Structure 1
Amino acid sequence: MKKYLFSIFTLFVLSTSFGQTNISGEYKLYTTGDSADISQGVILKLNCNNTFIQQDTIATGYGKWFIKNNSRLTLQFDSIAENNRMDIFKTKIIYLFEDGRIYRKTIPKKEYTDFKNSVQNYFKSINSPFQFANFESFAIYKAKELKRYYQKLKSYSCD
């Protein structure tokens, strides 16, 4: 009986230990296929305190991240820094997390519209000459986004 209880306890401990996913760490953005785009040099840091930093060659985004069911990752942006200037930038992007990769499986049109509006408001707030008539269509945006994924480079120990 003791061996039976010990076996059940061991299985329980192992299953709960392996069921927990440590998503915290540093990730680099890659693009599948032959298209070279803004993926070059983009780094995402998911900190242990559920904050994140997304850095590229132009700007740095800040916010909070949330994980649901060990697979659905939400990045909630709250600000962006560019050229020594910090601005409010509110947008939310949902990813999937699997096998050390963060990627998009689908992109709802509403998410694209919210993102486009956030970007548009941000550029208006800094008096940028960026023209939204040239902003890529939903189909082009979706095609590009579905080819991108973050690959984990470094894990953070969150104790």
Structure 2
Amino acid sequence: MQPKKYQYLNHTADVSFIAYGSSTEELFSNSIDAMAGLMLNPPKPRKKGPKCIEFSFTESAQSLENLLWFVLQRLLSESDSRGMLPKQAKHVKIRKYGKDIRAECTVLLVEKTESDAFFDVKGVSPSSMKITSHGDSYSVEVILDV
């Protein structure tokens, strides 16, 4: 049985999820996929598929929590400015450079249409974000402002 990638949680005002991963890269990738799953309705059959692009970017921080926050916020900002929605994490590589931790990410973005948008995510709440190590795996709870 394949391990769980993420699960959505009940939250009073916003939307939240817990992402899991056997590595920090998988944790970041599953966090991106969980956020994308909340933003993008399941695809409907069309005569012509929506425009998709791969978007690559790099973010740096001094903690994994801050790095994940920067990655998710950057993805929201870039998606919005391009009129697109995140669809799927294609590649995440995390490296340590001195005191900094750097994430190199490639994400598939899909053209935004009225019927595609599910939740209009405004931002990522950094206040309760805590990455937990469970020995051979990681988890993080993320709250999204909608």
TM-score bracket, normalised by the shorter chain, equals 0.3 to 0.5
TM-score (norm 1): 0.31
Give the TM-score taking structure 2 as reference length.
0.33
Max Rg structure: 1
Question: Does 1 or 2 have the higher relative contact order (CA < 8 Å, sep 6+)?
Answer: 2
